[in-house]
Structure formats: structure tokens, C-alpha cells
A and B are shown apart, each in its own frame.
Chain A
Amino acid sequence: MSQKSEARWTATVLVSPAVLVLVLLNIFPIAFAVYISLRHWSLASPNPPRFAGDFNFAELLVDDRFFNSLWVSGTFVTLGVVIQLLLGFALAFVFNSKLRGLDTLRRLSLLPIMTMPLVVGLVWFYMLNENFGVINWFVTLFGSERLPFLTERTLAMLSIVLADVWQWTPFVTLVIFAALQSLPEYVFEAGRMDGLTEREIFFRITLPMLRPAIIVVLIIRAIDAFRMIELIFMMTKGGPGGATEVLPWYIYTTGFLSLDLGYAAAMAVTMIILVTLAAQVFVRQIADPGKN
């Protein structure tokens, strides 16, 4: 066996466990979801599953609830991720300064990430509850009426965003902070020697150098936010009306409450395609930064 083919064989052996895991845990479930999406498959029906062709996908096109959930998901992801990025960015710069006591604060700020999302949802549900909630208790202390945090369309969406921002801003902070720490000091010194102002240093040196980290955190948070279901489950069940019904919640209720697996799978497959397409846009930005 030549040295080249031996190296190839070794590489194949070393990579194959990872490929096997990928096929079993990622490729197979997605392929199976596609298979289910092409069938009438209801656990609640006494009839066995049968081929449905594109029926489930055609149903999606006339389903207002599906389009509403897509819109709500988009709104939630946009609001949540933008606020997390801005806040996380600001906090990362604060933590990167040499002020005393920030080390402890930085460690404490990571606590929300370690909390289970379901618990986060439950805690915020009780804090924002109109009857028992501590936040409304404060509101009434100032003589104001209790606020319908979870039962008014705009406030309900903002409440969900608030809970998500509370939990995940520290993650953004952590990634940006790590990136900031890794920036070489000599570049900034060169900038100052060239007469750049602090504002110019930020926009012409710091920000471009942080770009890969920002895009990575953007992709991770956007995908994560798009598949978020726990906060909806604990806080609003998609209400009021359909104001907080994100796509994963609609898929969950269709698949696991109504047990209509075929239609739920069609929505899930559509969601995977949409998320993959959106992620590709950002991934290309990392893979080929020279174009920008």
C-alpha cells in the first residue's frame, strides 16, 4: 500500500465514527421527517399511514396560522437577537475595561446561561403574572394599573423577548469578550501612531476584526432563537390570539397534541430549509470575508 493510500485509509477510519454519528443523529432523522411529511400519518387515527404526495405541503400554502407563526418567529428572532447583540456588545466592552470588581461581575453574569430554559420561562411567567407577579406588584406600588404583560399582543411578545434576552445576552457577551481579548494590541498602537481617533479605531479596526465572532454569535443565536419553544410553553402558549405563536410551537401542537405527524413534519421540513438557507448567507460571510 502506497504512503498516500495508507494516509487516506487512516483518515477514513478516523473520520468514520463522526460520519456515522452524523448520519444516525442528523441525516437519518431529517430524511425520516421528509418521509413522514409525504404521508397522512396521524397517531390519533385508526387508519394506517398512507402516501399523501405533496398534500401536506400544499396545505401549508393555504394555512394562515402557518404564515402567522412564520411572521411571529421572524419578529421574535429579529428583536431578540438584535437586542442581545447590542447589549452583549456593550457589556463585553465594559468587561474588557480594566475597572476593579468586574471579574466577579463577569462570572456572575454567566449564571442565566446555566439555567434551564423551562425554568427561565416559569420564573418569568410568575414574575410577569398579572395576579401574583412581583413586577405587577411594583407597578401597583406606584399607583398604576396592573399591566397585561402576557395577555396583550405587543407586551406579550416583548415579555418573551425580555426573557430570552435575559438568558442569552451573557452568551453574546462571553463570545465578544473572548474575541476582544484575543485582538493584538500592536494593531491599536499602530492606529494611534497613525493619528486615528478612538471612534475611528473602533469602526476601522476593532469592529472589522470582531466580524467573524459577531457573525458566529449571530448564527448561533438566530438558529437557537428560531427553534425556541420553552418560553412559549411556559409563558403564553402562543397567545394572546396567535401573537406569540412561533413556528416551533405550532409544530409542537400539531405533532404532539393533535398528533398529526404528517402535517407537523411538513412544517418541520420547511423550517429546516428556511433556517439552512438563512444560515448559509451568514456562513458565506465567514468563509469568504474578502468579498466584503
Chain B
Amino acid sequence: MLHFNSSNRLRHLALAAGAVGVLGAATPALADTVLEGETIRILGIGDPVFQVMQKIHGELEEMAGGTVQLDVRPFDVLRQQVLLNAQNDLSNYDLIAVDLPQFGEYMSFLTDLNPLIEANGYDGSDFHDVAWTGAQFDGAQLGVPLQPHPEIMAYRSDIFEKYGLDAPQTHADVLAAGATIQANEPGMSGVCWNAARGTALGQTFIMNMGDFGAAPIDMEKIGDDFNMGNIQPENMRPTIDTEAGAGTAAYLEALMDVSPPGILNMAWDERVRVFAQGGCAMTYIWSGRSAIYELDESAPARGNVGYVPHPSADGSPNRSTLGGWYLSIPTNIDPDRVDLAWKVIEWLTSADMIAEYTKHGNCVSPRKSVSQDAEVAARCPSIPAVDQMSADGFIAGWQRPPVPEIQKIVDALGTEMHQVLSGDKSSADALAEAHRLVDREMQKAGYY
């Protein structure tokens, strides 16, 4: 069963409250020995977990007993900084934030953490398997999960109940429920999603292509999933202009009919805010962003939201795309600072700290122990829902393959598909052109 209603789960979790340790309330005990007066330099992203760190910066430094130099950048600037920093003889940062699909691009200048993990007896088994193994390439552990979260579907359980609708499991369910609600609920549209031109729509395309059990490049298939850990040059051929690509384009075109006004300019937090205020009955959402309404007492959506994995195309398995952030150590770090960097990773990714972040607006927990904490679950109902999806194997990362050209793929699709949704181009032409552009990039890169 793929249905996780927040109110039902809350009741169960409240009963279990006494059985589970209240991790979130504890102040990290080991923290005051972490920095011992030293300075740690972190290059982070303007996503919830780092925004929380900025918010509680004073407390963080007090906990760690030293200076936390936190350089928080927007996504694109962060990528430039990481790539430029990699060219330095000595890294300007001890820790850098890495998005899951970026490991392919960065792997040559990220430290293998396995020796540190072994030397310090670090236990990674508390992390969701898919999150922990997502940073493994050729046997090397390149990062530790800090804020990995999947893109899932959030829906208004109260509205669905009102119209006798089941939680949406497939594309057809989404379209049917969206049409019913849009026709009967004044001021409420069916689905909010990322349709803005560029990265937003490009990512939407490849994640929805994943709903057809297909990846944007020709990766090796393993069961219902793909081999992400060993992508070879022959796997780099685009698979955009295919049946799955056409199906994805058709679904996105159909979604337009059950979307709110201004959908062609909607992206990221805006879709969640419109959903939070009752503008949509469903939204595709990075689970961590559920804090926008779950922690806002005035939001009509608060407490009335159910969560399901990314609805699939009929007949395909449900797979939600895993994304989000890891902490990694660059290879050009001053060798004398490696131990300090590792100690900070241990501290910032500890169960205590993950629970602490949820108090301040980061509804993500890659750790099972924190996900089962009743207080955390009550605060962020999406966390136990994602925990369950992870346990059921509904989360995967192959939809956005970790290859250096991933941004080119996203950009080509985000540009071409926007012309389709704007009515300027046929989907067949757009798919062919996006396929051609990606193919040219791969040839330019010398893969074939």
C-alpha cells in the first residue's frame, strides 16, 4: 500500500512516543569537543539544512566550541565554486555540500571516506540504504548524507476524502483526481509542479520519465532499476527520443489541463506555497520542503496532507527520485585538517543534529532512528512517510544519472519542453532536438 496519510500516521506515532527515544530534545553531547577552538570552513547550499545552520549559527558555534565558517551559495554558484576550488592546490574549504547527481561530476576530487569511517568505527547502517549507498562509487564512499530527500507527491487528504478519491498512485490517477477537484472545488487547481523554463522543467521531465521506468541515458538495467555505480562511455547515449520520452511529454502536456494559472513560470518553493495556501490539491514536492506548510500554523494544508511516492505511468513501478545534500571532503584539503573535517561530518550528521534541524525548518531525516522519533514525526509528517517509502524500495537516484553532463541534459530538456508546453513546438520535434543536443554534447565530450 502506497498511502501515507499524515493524520493517521500521527495517531499511531503518538502512541509510540514513549517507546522511542526523544532524540530531538537532546543537545549533542560530543559537540563541545568537536572544534576545540579551531575553525571549520564549509561550502553549503541555500537549502533548508544549511539555512537552518545559518539560523542557529551562534548555537552551532557554542555547541562545537569553535568557529563555523559557513559559506552558503545558490545552486549554480555553489557548483562553480566547487569546480573552481578543485583547481586550487589547496582547498579553501574543509567540507563541501554535494548534490546526489553531482557525484559523477565531482568524484575525481572527492576524498574516499572509507578509511576514516573504518578508523573511527562510524556506523552508516542507521542511514536509509538508498541514501548511504547513493554516495558510493567504485567502492568508495564519497559523502555522508546530510539532507537527502526524494521528490514525492503530496496531496490534500481532506479534499480527496471529500470527493471519495483514492491517493494517486499513477499518472492516470493524478489526471483524474486533478480534473474532478478542479471542476468542483472553487479556486483550487489539480496539481502544482515545476514547469518553469530551464532547470525546473528539465528536472521534472527526467523525474517523470523515471515513472516510465526509463532513464535519460542508456544505463545498464538491473531489475526495475539501473546501475548507477559504474556508468561507462557506452552508457552515455541519450534515450530521450524514445517511447518513454514521448509518454513523458504527453503526460506533461496533459498535466497542463489540471494545473494552476501561471504554471509555465512555477518552480520549486512557489509550487509548495500555492499548495500550502490551498491553490492546488496535489503537488510534486521535495519532501524536505513540506516544512513550508507543516511548520506554518496558518497554512490550510497543515495536517491535511498525505504522501505517496512519485505516481508511476501505468504498469511501471513507483520510483521517487532521491536528491539532496551530502557532506564531502575535497581531495585537495590540507592533510592536517582531514581529521577535523571528519569530526565535523560525524557531528553534523549525527542523529541529535538531524533531529535538531527538524525543529528549525528542515523536514528531512536520512537516519531511521530519527525518522522513528515520535516528536520529529509529529513535527514533520513527511519524514515517517519517506522512511516507509525507503523501506519499501520506492526511492532511487538513477533518474538523474551522476554524470558530468547531467546539467546539459536538464538544460536541453527544460528549454525544448517549455516550447512544447507553450504551444510553440510539437513534442516530437522537441524530443528529437533535445536528443540531438545531448547526443552532440556526449560526442563533444568524447564518449563515443
Contacts and interface: CB of A to CB of B under 8 A. Distances in A.
A96 B265 CA distance: 42
B262 A240 contact: no
Interface string A231-251: 000001111111100000000
Contacts of B418: 239-242
Nearest to A129: B262
A44 B422 contact: no
A241 B198 contact: no
B265 A151 contact: yes
Interface stretch (B24-32, B76-84, B93-101, B314-322): B76-84
Contacts of B57: none
B121 interface: no
A108 to B, nearest CB: 31
Contacts of B80: 43, 256, 259
B188 to A, nearest CB: 12
A150 to B, nearest CB: 5
B197 A44 contact: no
B76 A131 contact: no
B263 interface: yes
B303 interface: no
Contact of A241 (B83, B270, B422): B422
A148 B196 contact: no
Q: At the interface, is chain B mostly helix, strand, loop or mixed?
A: helix
B109 to A, nearest CB: 10
A153 B421 CA distance: 12
Contacts of B140: none
Q: Which residue, of B76, B261, B411, B444, has the highest number of chain A Cβ atoms within 10 A?
A: B261
A132 B270 CA distance: 10
B197 A257 contact: no
Interface in B47-70: none
B76 A150 contact: no
Nearest to B412: A258
Contacts, number: 95
Interface residues of B, number: 36
A239 B445 CA distance: 28
Interface in A16-65: 40, 43-47, 65
Contact of A44 (B199, B262, B404, B421): B404
B73 interface: no
B407 A240 contact: no
Contact of B198 (A44, A130, A150, A237): A237
Nearest to A59: B440
Contacts of A65: 415
A203 to B, nearest CB: 44
A131 B279 contact: yes
Contacts of A130: 260-262, 265
Nearest to B263: A151
25 contacts: A40-B444, A43-B83, A44-B405, A45-B404, A65-B415, A129-B262, A129-B265, A131-B260, A131-B279, A148-B262, A150-B264, A151-B262, A151-B265, A153-B422, A237-B196, A239-B264, A239-B265, A239-B422, A241-B418, A241-B419, A253-B198, A256-B76, A258-B411, A259-B83, A259-B407
